[in-house]
Amino acid sequence: MVEDPHAVRTLRVGSAAEAGLSGVEAIASAAAAGLRPAVDSARPHYPGYVVLAARNGIVALRAAGGHVLRYADAGGADLPGREWIAARPDTIFDVASLTKLFTSIAVMQQVESSGLELDRPVSSYLPDAATRGPITPRHLLTHTSGLPAEPDPSLYAYDSMADRVAAIHASVPFAPPGTSYCYSDINLITLGFLVEAVSGSPLDDVVRAGITEPLGMPDTGFRRTASHERTAPTEYEADPPRGLVWGEVHDENAWSLGGVAGHAGVFSTADDLAILCQAILDGGVYDGVRILRAETVAAMLREENAGFPGHAHGLGFELDQDWYMGELSSPWTAGHTGFTGTSMVLDRRHQAFVLLLSNRVHPSRDWGKINSVRANVATAFARALR
C-alpha cells in the first residue's frame, strides 16, 4: 500500500451541526419505520437494522433498532422472547451484493498493479471462458456483457466445485457484449475468477490484503461463523435444506462456491463500510493509506452506460438510482444494494454517505420488501444536507 502524507483524514463521531447536517432525527425515524409493517402487509420490512450517516468525515448518526434474531421458522412464529437478539451498532451483516464493490475494487487494483486491461477479452485471462468471445472486464463491471442474470440451474445442482466453476465459464450470452444491460451475478462471479487468475491468490486473500487490512476493517471479510454473537442470521432455507442460515453466506451460488465469490459472500459492519465509503470519497485513501489511485476512483464513478437509460453505472458502482437513493439521487451519487437488505449511497458533491444494513430476509426472503425504506432513508439524508 502507498502512504499518502497529505490524506490522513479519518472518520470521527460528531454532531449533526459539526457534520453540516440540519439534523439526523428524520433519517433515524425513516430507518426505524422499517420495523413496522408495510402498508400492504402485516409483516415488518425487516426485523433489525443499523443506520449510519456521515458528512465531511464526521459520523452524525450511528443507530440500531429491532432484533436480528426473532423468528423460529420461515412462517414467522416468534421465538421465546429471551432468545431474541437485539440489533446493535456493531452487528455484523451478510452484505450480499455489496460484495460486488469489493470485487470491483480488487479488479481495479489489478489494473493498477498487474497490467490487467479492461478492454481485453476475458478469455485471454481465463481460457476456459473462451466460448464467450469478445466479452471484456469492462462489460462485466458495467453489466453489459450480454450474460444472463444468474446460473441456470443454480450451482448447488452440480456435484463438484469443478463442475460449478465450469458451469459459470460455460454461461451462454443472450446478446452480443455492449448491446444490452442485464444486472448479472455471473458477471461478478467471473470477475472474482479473473482476480484470482491475474493475482495468483484466492479472492478472499486479495480482498483482505488489498482492502480490509490496510483500511483497518477488522469485521469485514468472507466466511463468518454462527458462533459469533454479533452476526445477524438470515433465512430459514428449505431449498437447499440449510435450516437457519447463520454465519454462512445466504446467497446459494456463493455458498456453493465455498462462501467466497465475486458477487456475494462478504460480511461487514456499518463502521467498517463507513471507512470504505470515506476512502472512496477521498479518492482511494483513508488515514494516509491508499488502496486506489484518485484517477482510478474517478473512473469507477464515471458513467459508462449512457446508452442504456435508467441503468447508469460506473466500473462496479451504480449511479443515480432513485429507486433506492431517493432524493439523494443525482449524477453525483453512487452506491449499491444487497439482497439481504443492505444499501450504501455516497454523495460526492456533499462529501457524504448513508448506510442502511438489515437482515430483511429473516425469517424468509418472501417477507421484507425494503426499497421504499431505502429510498426514504436516503431522502431524509438528502434533506438534511440542504
Q: What is the CATH number of the domain that holds 238?
A: 3.40.710.10
What nine digits make up the cell of 180?
A: 444490452
Number of domains composing the chain:
1
What pLDDT score does 256 carry? Answer: 98
What pLDDT score does 1 carry? Answer: 44
Which residues does 58 contact at the CB level (< 8 Å), separation at least 6? 11, 12, 13, 14, 15, 18, 19, 20
Q: Look at residue 380 and give its three-state secondary structure.
A: helix
Q: Specify burial of residue 56 (Cβ count, 10 A radius: 0-12, 13-18, 19+).
A: middle
CB 274 within 8 A of CB 353: yes
What pLDDT score does 157 carry? Answer: 96
Distance CA(213)–CA(220), nearest Å, equals 9
What pLDDT score does 8 carry? Answer: 73
Distance CA(216)–CA(219), nearest Å, equals 9
How many Cα atoms sit within 13 Å of 43 on the Cβ side?
21
What pLDDT score does 346 carry? Answer: 99
What pLDDT score does 166 carry? Answer: 96
Domain residues for the domain of 197 are 2-384
What is the residue-level pLDDT of the chain in tens, covering all 386 positions? 444 444 678 999 999 999 999 999 999 999 999 999 877 778 999 999 999 999 999 999 999 999 999 999 999 999 999 999 999 999 999 999 999 999 999 999 999 999 999 999 999 999 988 667 899 999 999 999 999 999 999 999 999 999 999 999 999 999 999 999 999 999 999 999 999 999 999 999 999 999 999 999 999 999 877 667 899 999 999 989 999 999 999 999 999 999 999 999 999 999 999 999 999 999 999 999 999 999 999 999 999 999 999 999 999 999 999 999 999 999 999 999 999 999 999 999 999 999 999 999 999 999 878 999 999 999 999 999 98
What pLDDT score does 369 carry? Answer: 87
Number of residues in the chain: 386
CB 371 within 8 A of CB 323: yes
Angle (deg, nearest 10), helices 185-199 and 161-169: 110
CB 155 within 8 A of CB 164: yes
Closest CA to 188 of 149, 158, 216: 149
Which residues does 315 contact at the CB level (< 8 Å), separation at least 6? 104, 107, 108, 118, 138, 141, 142, 299, 300, 302, 304
Quick one: DSSP state of residue 92? B
Distance CA(285)–CA(75), nearest Å, equals 45
What pLDDT score does 344 carry? Answer: 99
Quick one: DSSP state of residue 216? T
pTM over 0.85: yes
What pLDDT score does 386 carry? Answer: 80
